[in-house]
Structure 1
Amino acid sequence: MRKTRKAAAVLTAVAMAAVSAVPAMADEIKDLYDYELQSREIETWNVLYSQQATDLQVLTNLYDGLLESDEYGKLAPAVAESWETEDNGVTWTFHLRQGVKWVDQNGNEKGEVTAQDFLTGLEWVLNFHKNDATNTSMPMEMIVGAEDYYNMTSELDADAGLALTAESPEFADTVGIKAIDDYTLQYTCVSEKPYFDTVATYNCLYPISQAMIDEIGIDGFKAATPENIWYNGAYTCTEYIQQNTKTLTKNPLYWDTEAKLFDSVTIKMVESIDTAYQLYTTGELDHVNLSESNLTTIYNNESDPLHDQLVEKRPTKFSYQFHFNYDKHNDDQSEDTNWNTAIANEAFRKCWYYGLDLGSYYKRTNAINPYKCYNNAYTMQGLVYLSDGTEYTSLVQEKLGLPAYDGETMTRLDSEKFEEYKAQAIEELTAAGVTFPVHARYFVAGGNQTTLDSANVLKQAFSDCFGDDFIVLDIDSYVSSLAKEVRDPRRQSFVINGWGADYGDPQNYLGQETNDSDNAYYMVAYGHAVDNESEELKALYDEFTELVNKADAITDDLDARYEAYADAEAFLLDHALTLPSNFDIGWELTHVNDYTNQNAMFGIQNQKYKNWETSTDAYTAEDYAGFQETWNAGMAE
């Protein structure tokens, strides 16, 4: 049983006063206790196969790629100690550090990480029979021959495809990646890609060892487990009990000998935030995100021993959107014609854009400053900046003609425009045979009271803003897998999803919505606009895709590139093809200084338990004000 710390969470106000009267130096945490919701359990231990944050925030601790980021979001060396391009991003050379080791679950050495391992990893990603189409989008868009190799493998029978390796001529003579020597790796891009080094923070370019594949087999790596994989990251996973705990143990042979690591990290799986809160108050967790009810209870009671320890979190790297399903199916897999006809109508979608006030929904995340969560763009704030310092999404909002954010409202709301578009939508859709109210089906994880409560708040917002005679939100649940039970059979009307960039360019956001690629994640997995019968809708996506491709073709002038992307993004939002929802800016109680965590708006490293400053005593709001001031000063340097 873990020894309970002297956390303020379990002290009375009187006891706290006594403690504060005797100043003491708090210790740093050696064994960290974190948590995750059971609805967000890891689905694969194969780092090359996942595109989900729920997997990658664990796997980033077990594997290292070429680069990572620092606490300011800037690129930092990892397996590669230096890198360069001499031709504005066509050819990229990474110089690997010597002595990076592969280890097994128990930290025993299995081999050395060399340039060849990155070839082996990319071959696996691009081989249809090994990795399906997962993580292929960026390599296929950027690296010479990657798309040709993927297409070739997809046409082979399974046995022939699985027999290929990075040393096979089919790969070695086709794909633009070379191991110049054991510690020099070179990529050749299809055109100038001045941001390609940011791709090196994402797992599509991660290494694996052919010796590992030879040891455990192709099927063994496909169904990877903590027991059979080789690790080169900061930790190994020494125990995994599904839906219960994961234990990460410090890698004794980790290359970064100067890094501050925990001896162990235990990730407890919990049913809800409320469960996590109870575990925090008994000293069994080192931080907890607060639900609306817990936050308001503590915030409104100045005598609460936790009141001064309330800290507002930094924004996560995710920009959340309403993603419409334009080809919704009923449970019997027949087409939901009523919904599909309605959502294809632009006036109907603009009713959502101008009329849906999400203030009450934001309170579920941030009950104190709810409109800090207000999101007006598709791309995440802070991803890229123009040469004069202009932040990219502010340019998008300028093109949309939106008022400046005032901190107290959703500035895109416009009651007059809403009523105008509502009348137009009812007239046009009634003529098209749509019946009202239009029912929008929304799914939450079964048994998760927190998400159900949030959905009910959203349902009330629909009722208040739209009226029950126009649009009604129907809440449903799935048992264990949103993808298998809802997304793949296309049962949802919309989802609210957050996207965090894989690399540092707007293409990684907007390219998910185009209609010309099998790798456009949201179009293929969620939106299905290409399957809707509306020619008007298809024409809008054609024009949007053309704008995105035009922007992507600009590589010699980043300002011009970002201007062109802002035009495309403004078009997407002006036609309400997707609906910006929120940022994730909540409140927490914590023993972790979040300003020491990696903080990039791209890549998979932000949840890496590396170089974190911690305290056995909970931090206070005053502490966090100092942390922010120090971080801001460092960011300005």
Structure 2
Amino acid sequence: MKKSKFKLLSLILVLVLMLSACGSGGSKTTDTSDNGGNDVVNNEEPKTAKTIKDLVISKVQTRELETFNILYSQRAEDSENLTNLLDPLLEVDTYGELVPGIAEEWGTEDGGLTWTFKIRDGVKWVGMNGEEKAALTAEDFATGLEWILNFHKNDSSNTSMPIEMIKGAEEYYEWTKTLSAEEAKALTAEAGSKFREIVGLEIDGNKLVYKCITEKPYFDTVATYNCLYPLSQQMVDELGGADNVRSMNNENMWYSGAYTMTQYIQGNEKVFTKNPLYWDKAASLFDTITIKMVESLDVAYQLYQSGEIDYVQLTESQVNTISKDKNHQFYNYLVPDVLSKYSFQIHFNFNKNKEDGTPDTNWNTAIANKAFRQTWYYGLNLENYYKRQNPLDPYIGENNFYTMKGLVYTSDGTEYTELVRQEMGLPELNGKKMVRLDEAKTAALKKQAMEELTALGVTFPVEIDHYIAAGNQTVLDTANVLKQIFSESLGDDFVKFNIKTYVSSIRKEVVQPHLHSIAINGWGADYGDPQNYLGQETYGNDNAYYSANYSYINDITEETEANKELLAAYKEFTKLVEAADAITTDLDARYKAYAKAEAYMLENAFVVPAMYQQMVALAKYDNTSKMNAMFGIQNEKFKNIRTNSDGYTTEEAAALQDAHNAGKK
């Protein structure tokens, strides 16, 4: 958020937060005026703040982690926990710039064709209680990459990046597919192994050398992500093999991060404890971090009110109640979180089933029609949806693109999504109305879609099945807002929005059986390049996350005229992405080519941009002191965090943001 915008929001108490929550109570505090700069910046003499030593936060139960194996996970719900327990080659600072992690030095001497990382001495693997297990060495990164590329160990999870970038990665991945599960699971990455023979990774003492397929000037940003994390072969042996590593838990896993997880009660509570052998001795860490799993944000707010947690994300009704009452205890304490790195989209399912398992022909035919999809892009007025996260300044969440803003910039400082806007011919944002809305165009597209689809046997209104977690009032209220938006924007004669529920896992209960019409998901970049966004939507690629797991476009055949048009467009988009990815030595040309591909995707409405996520919060830690990048999995790492157990006021948070902005390089 720019400085001028932040000041404006501060004055009207319009501030924001994403989907994680925290708070204080039971927290041990210490009177101090140092330890990471806990002084409030207000252009006056700094006052002494009470530093929180034992942080307590909350997360809604739908954000429970599903695996302790960071190499296998592709979910933010997992990584936001595991990033505190395991460390990567590189980290990021509060401005999103790369800084040393387990690698103390890194670089390329040939434009990104070869990358060298020097592993620091003294990094230890530890057990749950902080006992030393082994030294972490360069060999552990080879073991980790072998695991990623071994189909029988890791399925296809996190393979897309190494396959796209590292020499021999795809060959090794495909080779492991030809083996039996038993043979593949017995493989290692030790010197002389098939992995070391095929894959472009060399180890010279404490140096890792990755050999890329072509110049990859952004490869070092991948060093923050799961696919290049280390794994100890000694741990694999201790646990008894690959199957047990896949199912490991907090009690038997090995840790290399700032904390270990000393308590885990699924769906209830987690406790992180400071790692006594952590390599970064200069880091300021909490003694413990307790994560309370709650049913809803309403419950989290109650816990904050009672002093039991240190951070809370506020709902629309809570923000309205607080901001309109000058006598409210939290009136002066509304503070912003950093902008979430996730760009949220409405994703279509092109191969939907009914609940009885038979194809939903009416939906599948309708969604294959370009005009039908375009009515959503140009017709849905999402203002009330934006208000769900920030009722006082809803357009702070306006999103018209696929790639997250702020991911990359051209050499003259132009932000990438601005290139997409120019390519599409959209007006500039004005903060008052969605710039892509076009009533006349929507009416014409609606008429065209109804005529074309009626001729194909589609009946109207076309039913949209949208699934939410059962028993969660907050998400139900949001779903009802969406239902009203569809009714008012597109008309009840055109679509009917059905709100349906799942019990515990949307993945298992809804997405895998293809029951959803749409899924509203946020994608955050794994590394700093548009390929990581657009590559998730390409056709015919098993490693394209959304194509393979949500839209199911890869399952579509050319049996109908509508499908032929849809597939032809997807294939053209895929060619555009591949052409952009082939440009490796001129980043300005690369970004321009990606912008052309993204504009084509949006003009065909393969997805519909939904929002950027910024909400209103009450906080006892300062978000400007957190790691903050538009790629990687580091943003939820609790390291070097500034705290104040009294809570930050709006004025104090604004001053901290001003100071942070002033320090940006």
Smaller-chain TM-score range?
Answer: over 0.9
Aligned partner (choices 343, 354, 361) of residue 385 of structure 2: 361
2:286 partner SS: coil
Residue 224 (structure 1) aligned with residue 224 (structure 2): no
CA distance in 1, matches of 2:470, 2:548: 25
State the match for 2:479 in structure 1.
Answer: 455
Counterpart Cα distance in 2 of 1:184 and 1:529: 42
Counterpart of 2:290, as a letter, is T
Gaps of at least 5 residues in structure 2 are: 1-23, 30-45
Q: Distance in 2 between matches of 1:25 and 1:72?
A: 26
Aligned match of 1:561: 590
The match for 2:650 among 605, 614, 621 is: 621
Specify the alignment match of 1:535 in structure 2.
564
- Whether the 8 Å CA contact 1:529–1:537 is kept in 2: the answer is no
Equivalent residue number for residue 86 of structure 1: 109
C-alpha separation between the residues in 2 aligned to 1:105 and 1:171?
30
Give 1:215's match in structure 2, choosing from 230, 233, 238: 238
Give a deviation string over 1:301-351, Cα, whole Å, max 9, x none: 111120110123321000000110011111111111100110111111111
Q: Among 616, 620, 633, which residue is 1:604 paired with? A: 633
Instruction: Provide the aligned length of Structure 1 versus Structure 2.
Output: 619
- Partners of 1:530 and 1:538 within 8 A in 2: no
Correspondence for 1:66: 89
For residues 58 and 135 of structure 2, what CA distance do their matches in structure 1 show? Answer: 32
Listed as ranges, the matches of 1:82-481 within 5 Å are 82-167=105-190, 169-181=193-205, 183-217=206-240, 218-481=242-505
User: Which residue number corresponds to residue 19 of structure 1?
Assistant: none
- On the 8 A contact 1:342/1:429 being kept in 2, the answer is yes
Of 23, 26, 32, 2:49 maps to 26
- Aligned equivalent of 2:66: 43
1:440 is displaced (CA, Å) by 0.5
Shift of 1:5: 8.5
Q: 1:426 to 1:265 in 2, by over 3 A?
A: same
Runs of 4+ aligned structure 1 residues displaced above 6 Å come to none
What is the one-letter code of the residue matched to 2:499? I
Q: Distance between the aligned counterparts of 1:188 and 1:433, measured in 2? A: 54
Q: CA offsets per residue over residues 384-418 of structure 1, 9 Å max, x none?
A: 00000000001101111111100111110010001
Check the 8 A contact 2:25/2:306 in 1, yes or no: no
Asked if structure 1 preserves the Cα contact closer than 8 Å seen for 2:576 and 2:593, the reply is yes
| Shift, 1:26, TM fit | 2.2
State the alpha-carbon separation in 1 of the partners of residues 588 and 162 from structure 2.
24
Give the deviation of 1:2 after TM superposition.
5.7
Q: Answer whether contact 2:380 2:490 (CA < 8 A) is retained.
A: yes
Judge conservation of contact 2:338–2:614 (CA < 8 Å) in 1.
yes
Over residues 178-233 of structure 1, what are the superposed CA-to-partner deviations in whole Å (9 max), with x where a residue is unaligned?
A: 2111x111110111111000000001100011000110122221101001111010
Q: Is the 8 A contact 1:325 1:528 kept in 2?
A: yes
> Secondary structure of the equivalent of 2:427?
coil
Report what 2:26 is aligned to: 3
Q: What letter matches 1:622 in structure 2? A: E
Equivalent AA in structure 2 for residue 506 of structure 1: P
What are the superposed Cα offsets for residues 28-69 of structure 1, whole Å, 9 maximum, x if unpaired?
110000111101111000111100000000000000010010
Are the equivalent residues in 2 in contact too, given 1:5–1:616 (CA < 8 A)?
Answer: no
TM-score by length of 1: 0.96
> 2:83 aligned with 1:52, yes or no?
no
Structure 1 residues 570-581: aligned runs within 5 Å: 570-581=599-610
Match of 1:493 in 2: 517
Are the aligned partners of 1:5 and 1:283 in contact in 2 as well (CA < 8 Å)?
no
Q: Identity, % of aligned pairs?
A: 57
Q: What's the offset of the Cα at 1:4? A: 7.1
How far residue 465 of structure 1 moved from its aligned partner, in angstroms, is: 1.1
Shift of 1:3: 3.4
What do the CA deviations read for 1:343-371 (whole angstroms, capped 9, x no partner)?
A: 11111111101111011111111111111
Provide TM-score, normalisation by structure 2. Answer: 0.92
Alignment partners' CA distance in 2, 1:265 and 1:357: 40
What CA RMSD, in Å, does the superposition of the two structures yield over aligned residues? 1.2
CA–CA distance in 1 between the matches of 2:173 and 2:336? 45
For the residue of structure 1 that corresponds to 2:543, the secondary structure is coil
C-alpha distance in 2 between matches for 1:70 and 1:530: 38
Query: In 1, are the aligned partners of 2:25 and 2:309 still within 8 Å (CA)?
Result: no
CA shift, 1:559, in A, is 0.2
Aligned partner of 1:466: which letter? L
Preserved CA contact (<8 Å) 1:548 1:568: yes
Separation in structure 2 between the aligned mates of residue 628 and residue 83 of structure 1, nearest angstrom? 31
Alpha-carbon distance between aligned partners in 2 of 1:219 and 1:247, rounded to the nearest angstrom: 26
The one-letter amino acid of 2:497's match is L
> Do the aligned residues in 2 keep the contact of 1:250 with 1:264 (CA within 8 Å)?
yes
Unaligned runs of 5+ in 1: 7-22
**SS, match of residue 500 in structure 2:** strand
The CA deviation at 1:531 is 2.8
Aligned mates of 1:530, 1:125 — CA distance in 2: 23
